[in-house]
Amino acid sequence: MISKHSLQAVALSDQRHLQTLVENKTAYTLNSCELNVFETHAASFLVPLTFNDFVITSMLRGKKVMHLFDREGFDYLPGESVIVPANTTMRIDFPEADMRNPTQCTALAIDGEHIKKTIQYLNENFPKDSGRQDWKLDHQQYHFYNNEEIALLINKLISVCTSSSPGKDVLADLAVKELLFRIMQVQNLNHAHTHYLDEHTSNPLAFVIAYIKQHLSDTISIEELSNKAYMSKSTFYRAFKRELGLSPIEFILQEKMMMAKKLLLNSSEKIASISTEAGFQDVNYFIRLFKKMEGVTPKQYRLNALTKH
């Protein structure tokens, strides 16, 4: 699983000033976007919410169950975001909300023309080197984990929109552009994880991803990967990081960690054996890196999983 990054919660409204206990809204309107902060202080179910513009919602605290596009509801928790097209109704459950445990989320509504111009700018000035379509928002990938960049940008937008700075429209405009770009990178990465086998004959990055997944136990170099993609090292590195939001080395490490976690959960192998099988020659380096990326050692990760069951 890719790590998710929670956002900084906004101070809750004074309970004496709440207009409603369900989806109490505070709005901050700027030229190209509107930031809404919603709080719910009472359990409720199938609450409808619709925006006239495309909206990026992000959980700050508590738990919701989100119903979208007539599909089965899914848990919506801090560290996660959901994008919703204009004029699409969300139906939301708040099964655990009360005065002591309210839910809180943001909804950033963005003008459609602003989105169109941002995507047009990317396609004209930074076309994809992989040849896989143009830049676009994929509305089928509507629920995702915040990575570090997305979390930082949403926190920045909250800070900018709620401030009294005279230049906040300019700062928000720039942050919204980058946020849209980062979301598209996450969508590209998720697509690559899912469709690399389908596209490996037509998309050089998909071919490289398939190769990486098949050779995780090996030592893989950037030069080797760029040769597989029939690109120079600099072109390959730029294309990979621009389209997927992380470098080839970061992607390889992420894949190795995913493999290691599966082995920790589904086998009784020793840590040293798992380290080697996941492509790490130095078990001490593996343990240090695992703790840096996951917050716990491999041994503790396995123990935590066992205690949950």
Same domain, 156 and 221: no
Mean pLDDT of the 87-112 span: 97
Which of 301, 242, 292, 302 has its CA nearest to residue 268?
A: 302
Contacts of 36 (CB under 8 A, 6+ apart): 25, 26, 27, 28, 106, 107, 108, 109
Sheet holding 64-67, edge to edge: 44-50, 89-94, 64-67, 74-76
Predicted confidence at residue 1, as pLDDT, reads 41
Q: For residues 30 and 251, give the distance between their C-alpha atoms in angstroms, rounded to a whole number.
A: 37
* 8 Å CB contact between 83 and 49: no
Mean pLDDT of the 105-131 span: 91
Mean pLDDT of the 83-96 span: 97
Tell me phi and psi for residue 25, to 5 degrees.
Answer: -115, 135
Helix, strand, or coil (residue 148): helix
Predicted confidence at residue 6, as pLDDT, reads 85
Does the pLDDT of residue 274 top 90, yes or no? yes
Helix axes 148-161, 168-199, angle to 10 degrees: 160
Please report, rounded to a whole number, the percentage of residues in the chain having pLDDT higher than 70: 98
Q: For residues 107 and 56, give the distance between their C-alpha atoms in angstroms, rounded to a whole number.
A: 6
- Read off the pLDDT band of 200 (50, 70, 90): confident
Is 59 part of any domain?
yes
Mean pLDDT of the 61-72 span: 96
Mean pLDDT of the 180-200 span: 89
Same domain, 25 and 84: yes
- Read off the pLDDT band of 131 (50, 70, 90): low
Predicted confidence at residue 206, as pLDDT, reads 87
Mean pLDDT of the 91-96 span: 98
Predicted confidence at residue 201, as pLDDT, reads 76
* Mean pLDDT over each residue of the chain, to the nearest integer: 93
Same domain, 98 and 236: no
Same domain, 148 and 268: no
Per residue in 42-52, pLDDT (tens digit) is 999 999 999 99
Same domain, 49 and 170: yes
Same domain, 40 and 178: yes
Q: How far is CA 82 from CA 57, 75, 231, 277, in A?
A: 5, 11, 35, 36
Predicted confidence at residue 130, as pLDDT, reads 62
Does the pLDDT of residue 108 top 80, yes or no? yes
Mean pLDDT of the 38-60 span: 97
Task: For 34-47, give the DSSP string.
Answer: EEEEEEE-S-EEEE
Q: Is the model more confident about 114 or about 306?
A: 114
Tell me phi and psi for residue 65, to 5 degrees.
Answer: -120, 120
- Read off the pLDDT band of 194 (50, 70, 90): confident
**CATH label of the domain that carries residue 175:** 2.60.120.280
Predicted confidence at residue 282, as pLDDT, reads 93
Same domain, 268 and 169: no
Does the pLDDT of residue 158 top 70, yes or no? yes
Sign for the pseudo-dihedral over CA of 227, 229, 231, 232: negative
Kindly state the helix (H) or strand (E) to which residue 144 belongs, with its residue range: strand 143-145
- The count of structural domains within the chain is 2
Per residue in 215-256, pLDDT (tens digit) is 998 889 999 999 999 999 999 999 999 999 999 999 999 999
Is 108 part of any domain?
yes
For residue 155, what are the domain limits?
A: 1-112+142-185
